[in-house]
Amino acid sequence: MSELDLGVAAYKNGKYDDATQHFRKATDLDSSPPVAHLYLATAYSSQYLPGVESPDHKRLAEQAIEQYQAVLDSDAPLPPRINSAKGIAYLYLNLKQFEDAKRYYQQTWGFDPNDPEPYYSIGVVDWTLCYQPRMEARANLGLRPDEHLDARKREQKNLCDEPRAKNRALIEEGMDSLNRAIQLGPDYDDAMAYLNLMFREPADLECEDPAARRDDLKQADHWVDRTVAVKKARAGKNLTAMAPSPQ
């Protein structure tokens, strides 16, 4: 058996260390096909645990990214290159290197502009980048969950204005990306759920415009309703598919 075949067999048996060694040997060959790098990247990625920030786990992610990049830089067919771009983006997302994650998700648009997943993922990244600083501002004021930032609670100059200006481009990009994902996948309930969350970002920062805040919250609630409707419709279809045929 070739090193590639031995690696595949080890991977299927959950022996990721052995699989990694075989795939590494396969990639060391001068004539190694791009698929060997893809398999090696997958083996590294399978051992990486998101949220574990030890140097060893970070190194696994970096090694996986290196191998995925080798596939992207090769003349491999389109599907492996798409999978590699998504693999790199996913790893950067979990490493909290958000701009790098967005760059690779955006790269997949050129491969397949009709795939809704990258648009959704960029929306998630943009929401994360908005949400974290807003939560920090709220924590600094000791606000309850049901309170929002407003002019009367300002204890720092431009507490609303600064994050609103900083987040404006992210909110616009995130909403555009999530809407595009829904256009491409009309039942993409995860994208709808994040569009709800994205509308709540500017709502909390409408410190001096209650009407704008109400409008943002109305839009957010609309997407909550759409998400629930899609989930119910899907559940109904699943129940119908599982029902026994009449005799």
82: alpha, beta or left? (left if phi > 0; alpha if psi -120 to 50): alpha
Does residue 247 register a pLDDT over 60?
A: no
Full 3-state SS string of 46-65: HHCCCCCCCHHHHHHHHHHH
**Neighbour count for residue 173 (Cβ, 10 Å):** 17
Does residue 245 register a pLDDT over 60?
A: no
pLDDT band at 86 (very low <50, low <70, confident <90, very high): very high
Does residue 30 register a pLDDT over 80?
A: no
pTM score, two decimals?
0.85
Kindly indicate whether the domain formed by 1-113 is annotated with CATH number 1.25.40.10. yes
Mean pLDDT of 177-205: 95
pLDDT in tens, 43-59: 999 888 888 888 988 99
